[in-house]
Amino acid sequence: MFYSDLTLKTSIRTIPVKTASAHYPVYVGRGLFAEIPRRTRLTRSGRRVFVLTSPEIWALWGEQFAAAFPDAPAVLFLPVGERFKRLAQVERLAGELVAAGADRSSLLIAFGGGIVGDLGGFLAAIYMRGIEYIQVPTTLLAQVDSSVGGKTGVNLTAGKNLIGSFHHPSAVFADIDTLQTLPERELRAGLFESIKAGIIRDAMLFRFMEHNSETILARDAAALERVITASIRMKAGVVGIDERESGLRMILNFGHTFGHAIEAATGYRRLLHGEAIAWGMLAALQIALARETAGPDQAERIERTILAYGPLPLFRATADKLLEAAGHDKKNRAGRRRFVLPKGIGDAVVVEDVTDEEMENAARWVLEKARE
Ligand SMILES: NC(=O)c1ccc[n+]([C@@H]2O[C@H](COP(=O)([O-])OP(=O)(O)OC[C@H]3O[C@@H](n4cnc5c(N)ncnc54)[C@H](O)[C@@H]3O)[C@@H](O)[C@H]2O)c1
Ligand SMILES: [Zn+2]
């Protein structure tokens, strides 16, 4: 008992996020729920704590989570699914917060996947003009990507994440144990964002994922910890330099031009976000190959590694539909085709002059490859 407590305590890693507007720790490890009250100094404050989660996650982890707190926190629920990441839910939940007595000193905990995190962060950003919140991400994608960096928001009918705010959490607790209940497909989908992290900025992470896919997919805690820690470090480093995405942060969008287009062209139903990004990275790789920002050997390693974390669901779309969706990507500056390309493995460049022809070739290539 004593030894296992000790192991748990010593195995917590802390990654600092330091941006122009915020400074907070991301904790990665096992058994982290128990750490939340102490590390957020809740025990002495007497503050009210509100947990936003989904019924599914609460059914799996709620008992353990609540047991970590000296006083049972009030729990608010967001139904599962991207279609609930909407302003209407923010308004409903804000009303519930008022009714439950939340004030400006209350703490909101977003406990769930990226949807709970994005909406919870946004709710915290605007409730009484902003309250403190912490992220306790429970999907791999949320741990390595969405919980870090301060982007919060909800969807409009016109598109995803079109309403939002930068509002950083005051801490992130990425508990690896929660991943044990994550559906396999969700795990794989999140891992594509970690492969992305490796390709654009961390050759060691890429190499580790290249050579350890079986161990990682078997959810070995040490392997997952390594992948998650490195991915968060990469994102924290980038966001620390460019919080508002005016420069370097754009590299995080590697694979996302075609990835978003594939999601849109397939009605957001066929593929998970990470799966679409995996296809998007493969498409972008074709442009990188033609421009020789990556060599054939590097491209082959990238492709092999992505496919090792598959299977990637197949899909059908027309090239026109895909290109139209790629053209409407909100991340493109008017009149110029901005695109992130890998520069070998472990580095990336943002180019502003990708031609229609290059886009068409990449679209045709990926559609051919993904055909059922
Ligand atoms: N803010 C950002 O910077 C950022 C970055 C990337 C993605 N995002 C957003 O993240 C969202 C996607 O997040 P996601 O992939 O985590 O999806 P999600 O929140 O929908 O979670 C995926 C599924 O896994 C279930 N789940 C979550 N944790 C579980 C667990 N531990 N055990 C069992 N089941 C569990 C959920 O109930 C859900 O069904 C999108 O809305 C996307 O726009 C935001
Ligand atoms: Zn993404």
Q: What is the reported pTM?
A: 0.94
Q: What is the pLDDT of residue 3?
A: 43
Is pLDDT of 275 > 80? yes
Pocket test for ligand 1, best of 65, 89, 118 (most atoms within 8 A of CB): 118
pLDDT one-digit tens code per residue, 158-206:
889 999 999 999 999 999 999 999 999 999 999 999 999 999 999 999 9
Q: What is the CATH number of domain 2-181?
A: 3.40.50.1970
The interaxial angle of helices 356-370 and 273-291, nearest 10 deg, is 130
> CA 333, CA 321: separation in Å to the nearest integer?
20
CA-CA distances (angstroms) from residue 169 to 24, 304, 316? Answer: 7, 36, 39
The tokens for 152 are 């919060």
DSSP string, 282-313: HHHHHHHHHHTSS-HHHHHHHHHHHHHT-PPP
Per-residue pLDDT band at 333 (split at 50, 70, 90) = low
pLDDT one-digit tens code per residue, 199-229:
999 999 999 999 999 999 999 999 999 999 9
What residue spans in the chain does CATH classification 1.20.1090.10 cover? 193-370
What residue spans in the chain does CATH classification 3.40.50.1970 cover? 2-181
Per-residue pLDDT band at 284 (split at 50, 70, 90) = very high
Using a 10 angstrom Cβ sphere, with 0-12 exposed, 13-18 middle and 19 or more buried, the burial of residue 91 is exposed
The tokens for 47 are 């503050």
Question: Which residues, judged by CB distance below 6 Å to any ligand atom, belong to the binding site of ligand 1?
Answer: 54, 56-57, 60, 80, 82, 85, 112-116, 118, 138-139, 141-142, 145-146, 149, 151, 160-161, 178, 181-182, 186, 273
Q: What is the pLDDT of residue 246?
A: 84
Backbone angles phi, psi at 25, to 5 degrees: -90, 145
CATH number (1.10.3720.10, 1.20.1090.10, 3.40.50.300, 1.10.10.10) of 193-370 reads 1.20.1090.10
* Residues 155 and 149 sit within 8 Å (Cβ to Cβ): no
Residue with CA nearest ligand 1 atom 2: 146
Pocket test for ligand 1, best of 141, 148, 173, 178 (most atoms within 8 A of CB): 141
Q: What is the pLDDT of residue 264?
A: 92
**pLDDT > 90: what percent of the chain?**
85
Ligand 1 nearest atom to the CA of residue 193, by list position: 6
Is pLDDT of 324 > 80? yes
> CA 48, CA 36: separation in Å to the nearest integer?
14
